[in-house]
Structure 1
Amino acid sequence: MSGWFAPGRIEVLGKHTDYAGGNVLVCAVNRGVTATVEPGRRGIEARSTAQEDAITLEPGVAVRLPAGHWGQYLNVVVDRLGANFGPLRPARLAIDADLPLASGMSSSSALVVASAMALAQFNGFDESEAWVAAIRDEVALAGYLACVENGSAFGALSGRAGVGTFGGSEDHTAMLCSQADHLGLFSFNPAALVERVRLPDDLAFVVAVSGVSAEKTGAAKDAYNQASRGVAELLARWNAAAGRGDANLAAAVESDPEAAAVIESLVADEPRLLARLRQFVAESTWIVPASVEALRAGDRAALGELVAASQRWAADGLDNQIPQTEALVEDGRRLGAVAASSFGAGFGGSVWALVDRDGADSFAAEWLAGYVRAHPEPGSRAATLVTRPAGPAHALAD
C-alpha cells in the first residue's frame, strides 16, 4: 500500500495574485487530505469517507458527476497521469479528510496533491524518466499538479481537461513547500520561494469556516474565472499597446516604472478592469512585501492595517466577498485579533484571524458563537480550527 497526506493551506495574503505572476504569503495548516492506494481488480475504484458513494475511474473515460463532486478531481488526476506517464495499475483508492470541504482552505487541491502522489508512487511514475526530467523539485511538482487541476500542459507533459477553473499553483506550492512555524513568501513570475518568515511563537491562526460553500467547480466557477479572465484581458491590452510579449501581469507591471500607469490608461473607461488592476498592484507589490516586514519587526499595528487594506481591495477589486465572510472579518477585529481576512477564491469559504496563542481557543469559541447567532442558517455548518503554520505534504510511513 502507498499513501500521501496533503495539508490544507491558509492564503495569508496574495488574493488572486498567483496566476498573474504575483506574490503570495501562505502556510499549511494542521489538517488535510489523506489518500491511500492498494491493488484493485479493475480501473481505479475510489471511495471517500466523506461520501457514501464509490466511483470507478479509467484514464480517458469521462464520468458524469454532479457539479462540485469530489470525483471530478480524481477523474482529472487519473486521466492526466495516464496521458503523461502510461497505464495505471488497477487499484483501490481511499480518501479521508479532516479538512472542512469547500471551506476555502483548498481541500480540492489537497485532494489532487494527495491522490496524484499516492497513485504516482503506487505506479512508480515518480521514478520514471519523464517524471524526473520534468519535475526537478517541490516547486516544479507544485506547478505540475496545478496544471493537472487546471488542464494546462507542463513542459513536455501534455495537458488534458482540467476541473474548469483557471487557477495558478499557489495552493499546491503551499502544500508541498511549507515549513512548520513559518510563512512562505512565494513569487510566481516564475514560481519560486522568495523567503520565509517565522510566525512569532506567541501567535496562532484561528480559522472560521463560514458554512457558505466555496466549491470552485460549482456555482462560483464563473465568478471565480471572471477574476482570472480580467487579468488575461489586462495583459493582452498591455502587450498589444507596448508591442511586448510579457508572460503575465506581474512581468508587465515590473517591466517599467510607468507600466502600471500605462495599463491604467488603457482601461480607464472600464471600471471592472481598472479595479482588478489596482487590486493586483496593491496586493502584490505593496501589501504582501510590507506585511512580511511587519511580521519580522513584530509590528502588530502595521500588520493589522495592511491586512485591512487587503480586505478592502478584495471587496472593491475582486468583488468576491459575501456578507458572511465580511461579518466574520469585522467580528474578528472587534474581538481583538491582530488581523483578520477572508482568503482563498472567495464567494464563501473561510476567514483567518491572527490572535494571541494562549487565548486562541476562547477566541475561537466566542467568534463562532457570535457568528452562529447572527447567521443561523450557514452557522449550522460553520466551524473553527486553531493552527500554527504546519509542515508540507508527505508520503505516509509503510
Structure 2
Amino acid sequence: MSTTSPSFSDVFDTEVVGRWAAPGRVNLIGEHTDYNDGFVLPLAIDRSTTITVGRRDDRLLRVASTFESGVHEASLDALDPASMDGWSAYVFGIAWALREKLPEVAGDAGTAADLSAAFGLDILVESDVPVGAGLSSSAAIECAVAVALADLWSLEVTRPFLASVGQYSENHAVGAPTGIMDQSASLLGRADSAVFLDCRSLDAEVIDLGFEKAGLELLVVDTRVEHAHATGGYVDRRASCERGAAALGVSSLRDLDVDDLPRAQEVLDDETFRRVRHVITENQRVLDTVRTLRLEGPGAIGALLDASHVSMRDDFEISVPELDLAVSTAQANGAVGARMTGGGFGGAAIALVPTAARDGIASAVLAAFAAAGYTEPTIFVVHAADGAHRL
C-alpha cells in the first residue's frame, strides 16, 4: 500500500481534526484458538494503518484511501451490512457495530446508548501493513477507526469493548467468522511485549518478550500467497471445531484438555479429531510459551513454535507449500523456532532468529523460494509496538 498521494486535502475539503494509528499484529503462538474461547499470544507490530479525519456538519461518513481511487459514502442513519463491500466495509462496519453494541454499556461512565449525537466524518486511510499476509491489516483499519470514533464522538468506552466492536463488525458486516485476537492485539499491545489473552473471559495480560536483551529478532516471511478469511477453508475449520465440541458435549473446545484426547479420538471421525487435537494442544502450547518466557526467556520457546507449525500443517491442514518451505529453511539455517502465523492458506511465516544470523536466514529463504520456482517472498523484521493511539 502506498503511503503517499493522495493527501487528505486532495480528496476532501473539510478541516483535519486529528490522526489516529493502529498496528497490525503477529501472533507469536495460538492459532485458531481464539474463536474456540482459548488462549492466544499476539503482539502488535511496527507496521500500522493511519487514518486522517475531518469533521463534517452532516451525518455522512465519507471514506477514501491512498491505495484505491474513489470515495465511498454512507449515512450514519442508514448503515447496513448488506450494502457494505470491499475494504470500506472495515470502516463503515465499525460505525454500524458501535450503533449496535453501545446499548450494552449504556450508562457506564456516562456512555450514550446510541449515536444520535454523532456527526459525519471524512476519513483517509493509509497503511503499511501488508494485505493478505496474515498480519491483520483488516483489524488495523478497524482499530484505528474505532479509537478515532470513540475520541471524536466522546464515547467513554474501554479498549476491550472496542475490540468486541471490531470483532462484531468483522463477523457481521465483513462476513469473516474471526475471533477477537486481532483487535485485542492492535488495541492492547505494548512495546517489546505480547498480549496474553484469554478469549473466554477477555482477561488480558501484557507479557515481556525480552527479544532485544536476548539478541533475538522476529523475522516475517510474507509468502505473498494471499488468503481471505471470509471464504473457504477458514469457515470450514471453524465449523469443524463447532461440530467437534458438540459431539463431545461441551460449549467450546476450551473446555477440553490433552487428557480428553483419547475420548475425542473414539467419538470423532479422523478429520474432526485432528482439528480438535490441534486446538487442544495449541491452547497448551500458549500456556507453556507464557510460562517459558517468564522462567527461561525467549531463547527457550523455539520447540513450542516448531510444534505449533507441525500441528497446523498436519492436524489443522492450513499451511501451504510456501509456508512449509519458509519454516523448514529458517529452522535449518539457525532459527530458534519458526511457524506459520495467521489464519493460514497463505500469508506469512515467522521465525525467531538470532540477530547475528538474520541476514543469512533471510538469504537462505530467498534462495530456497527461487529454487522451488515460487514467487519471491517479502522478508522483514518486526518489533513489538504500542497499540492504537492518537498521533
Range of TM-score over shorter length: 0.7 to 0.9
The alpha-carbon distance between structure 1 residues 187 and 80, as it changes in their structure 2 partners (threshold 3 A), is closer
Alignment-mate amino acid for residue 145 of structure 1: G
* Alpha-carbon distance in structure 2 between the residues aligned to 1:171 and 1:369: 28
The alpha-carbon distance between structure 1 residues 307 and 284, as it changes in their structure 2 partners (threshold 3 A), is same
The alpha-carbon distance between structure 1 residues 277 and 50, as it changes in their structure 2 partners (threshold 3 A), is same
Structure-2 residue corresponding to 1:366: 363
Confirm whether residue 22 of structure 1 aligns to residue 23 of structure 2.
no
Shift of 1:328: 0.8
The alpha-carbon distance between structure 1 residues 339 and 38, as it changes in their structure 2 partners (threshold 3 A), is same
8 Å contact from structure 1 (residues 300, 338) kept in 2: no
8 Å contact from structure 2 (residues 335, 351) kept in 1: yes
Confirm whether residue 89 of structure 1 aligns to residue 131 of structure 2.
no
8 Å contact from structure 2 (residues 335, 353) kept in 1: yes
The alpha-carbon distance between structure 1 residues 377 and 338, as it changes in their structure 2 partners (threshold 3 A), is closer
Deviations 1:9-46 (A, max 9, x none): 11111010011111112111111111221123662111
The alpha-carbon distance between structure 1 residues 300 and 6, as it changes in their structure 2 partners (threshold 3 A), is closer
Structure-2 residue corresponding to 1:212: 225
| 1:172 equivalent among 180, 183, 187 | 183
The alpha-carbon distance between structure 1 residues 39 and 63, as it changes in their structure 2 partners (threshold 3 A), is farther
Structure-1 residue corresponding to 2:274: 275
The alpha-carbon distance between structure 1 residues 301 and 44, as it changes in their structure 2 partners (threshold 3 A), is closer
- Tell me the SS of whatever aligns to 1:172: helix
* Alpha-carbon distance in structure 2 between the residues aligned to 1:298 and 1:363: 26
* Alpha-carbon distance in structure 1 between the residues aligned to 2:48 and 2:18: 17
RMSD over aligned CA atoms reads 2.5
Shift of 1:325: 0.9
Aligned-residue sequence identity (percent) comes to 25
Structure-1 residue corresponding to 2:318: 320
- Tell me the SS of whatever aligns to 1:191: coil
The alpha-carbon distance between structure 1 residues 163 and 62, as it changes in their structure 2 partners (threshold 3 A), is closer
* Equivalent residue pairs, number: 357
8 Å contact from structure 1 (residues 9, 27) kept in 2: yes
Structure-1 residue corresponding to 2:51: 35
Structure 1 residue runs without a partner (length 5+): 152-161, 240-245
Structure-1 residue corresponding to 2:334: 336
Please give the residue correspondences for 1:68-217 in structure 2 after superposition, counting only pairs within 5 Å: 69-83=86-100, 84=102, 85-87=114-116, 88-124=118-154, 126-127=155-156, 132=157, 137-151=158-172, 162-194=173-205, 196-200=207-211, 201=213, 202-217=215-230
Confirm whether residue 225 of structure 1 aligns to residue 235 of structure 2.
yes
Confirm whether residue 393 of structure 1 aligns to residue 377 of structure 2.
no
- Tell me the SS of whatever aligns to 1:355: strand
Shift of 1:259: 4.2
Shift of 1:329: 0.7
8 Å contact from structure 1 (residues 36, 93) kept in 2: yes
- Which range is displaced more, 54-63 or 22-31? 54-63
What TM-score do the two structures reach when normalised by structure 2? 0.83
- Tell me the SS of whatever aligns to 2:208: strand
- Which range is displaced more, 321-330 or 192-201? 192-201
- Tell me the SS of whatever aligns to 1:70: coil
8 Å contact from structure 1 (residues 210, 349) kept in 2: yes
Deviations 1:49-80 (A, max 9, x none): 122232112342457676xx312322322322
